[in-house]
Amino acid sequence: MSPIGAEGVHAGLLALPEVIEVHYTTGDADLLAHVVAKGTTDLHRITKALLAIDGVDRTSTAISPAEVIPYRPRSLLRRLANG
């Protein structure tokens, strides 16, 4: 993703309600988009919508079938607050 096209890509991602979170990344990808799909057919539809965004050249999909450790900032925040 070029810096010039970044705003268009961001706007395109924001326009898809199934995209619930996006992060810049290091390594092989530019962005990590967390999407929600009803199933594999819906995921295919969302992937096609992502690829239709000007500036998105390719996608890579990983499916999370189960949560191992839930989001848990409380213990970290407590430790930071206590020094």
**How confident is the model at residue 6, as a pLDDT?**
87
User: Cα–Cα distance between 51 and 9 in angstroms, integer?
Assistant: 10
For residue 75, pLDDT beyond 80 = yes
List, for residues 55-65, the tens digit of each pLDDT value: 999 999 999 99
List, for residues 8-54, the tens digit of each pLDDT value: 999 999 999 999 999 999 999 999 999 999 999 999 999 999 999 99
State pTM to two decimals: 0.79
If DSSP codes are grouped into helix, strand and coil, which group holds residue 31?
strand
